[in-house]
Structure 1
Amino acid sequence: MTSTPTPAAPPTLADLTVGQEIARTRHEITRDTLVRYAGASGDFNPIHYNDAVATEAGLPGVIAHGMLTMGTAITGLLDALGDPSAVRGYSVRFTHPIPVPPTGSVTLEVVAVVGAIDEQAGTARVDLTAQVDGTKVLGRARATVALAAAGTDA
């Protein structure tokens, strides 16, 4: 994974502006990644490891797990926040499967941008754009984060 540098201190709500990019990451996904995720999650659906089964199901071949994609997409934001407990909600729509080649890798590119700030609630909505080869793989990917106001503790 490559990402933007982690800030010295977690951001406060006052540090953010709508439209501000707060994280940019690139994640390599391989068949090995899928095997490891299947073992950790218990999701052994054959569309994630068997090309014949995946194509019979109408897919372009073996695809990455949806939850693997969703979890991977938010890691840059978590690093930028410095505190994963700041995330109050996270949701996505799965818009396109991620085919994973038998050898080599595919790259998931994610950009996290501040979409809205609610000063009264002490939260910000962060919109994530997740793409593989220019194709959006997640739609309406949003995280709500609770951040300290300037000069206070979280």
Structure 2
Amino acid sequence: MSFVVEVGDELPGLSLAPISRATLALFAGGSGDHNPVHIDIDAARSAGAEDVFVHGMLTMAHAGRLLTDWVPQHRIRALRARFTAITPVHAEPACTGRVTAVEEVDGERRATVAISVTLRDGTTTLLGEAVIATD
């Protein structure tokens, strides 16, 4: 089943609850990323941070969830992103997306979506782009 999107369309946003230390510990266990700067305040401070901070790949997972809340996973053709700032523990990220292009590629209609993850204070922690099949 296809759906119609146009340049400028906004994806339904995804607002997240504050990211707790427990969430970081669970993500470390689930992902295998036990880097101490994410779960041990002493390690984070020795690295120059005030406190532990969120795994970049957890932020990336939230960006992926923004997409899969909008379309089924099988429609995602590409997802790329870069981290622009650290997400501190207790932050409340908000994920947004906007269609920036619609084109025909290899006989398939595809939408390019600009993605961002932003904190309440306006800090953008991730900028990315996804390509979605619309038919």
Q: Indicate whether the TM-score tops 0.5.
A: yes
With normalisation by structure 1, the TM-score equals: 0.79
Q: Deviations over 1:20-77 (max 9, x none)?
A: 1022011121111111111111110000011121121122320100111101122122
Task: Give unpaired runs (5+ residues) of structure 2.
Answer: none
1:99-138 equivalences under 5 Å are 99-100=88-89, 105-120=90-105, 121-133=108-120, 134-138=122-126
AA in 1 matched with 2:7:
V
1:1-150 equivalences under 5 Å are 12=3, 15-28=4-17, 29-81=19-71, 83-100=72-89, 105-120=90-105, 121-133=108-120, 134-139=122-127, 141-148=128-135
Q: Which runs of 4+ in 1 moved over 3 A?
A: none
> Any idea what SS the aligned residue of 1:71 has?
helix
CA distance in 2 between partners of 1:11 and 1:59 (Å): 46
Contact 1:131/1:137 (8 A) holds in 2: yes
CA distance in 1 between partners of 2:12 and 2:66 (Å): 6
Aligned length: 131
Question: Residue 79 of structure 1: CA displacement?
Answer: 1.2
Contact 1:60/1:99 (8 A) holds in 2: no
With normalisation by structure 2, the TM-score equals: 0.90
Contact 2:62/2:95 (8 A) holds in 1: no
AA in 1 matched with 2:130:
A
> Any idea what SS the aligned residue of 1:22 has?
coil
Identity of aligned residues (%): 34
AA in 2 matched with 1:27:
L
Task: Give unpaired runs (5+ residues) of structure 1.
Answer: 1-9, 149-154
CA distance in 2 between partners of 1:18 and 1:131 (Å): 22
Superposed CA RMSD: 1.4
Q: Deviations over 1:82-118 (max 9, x none)?
A: x111111101111101110xxxx32110111101111
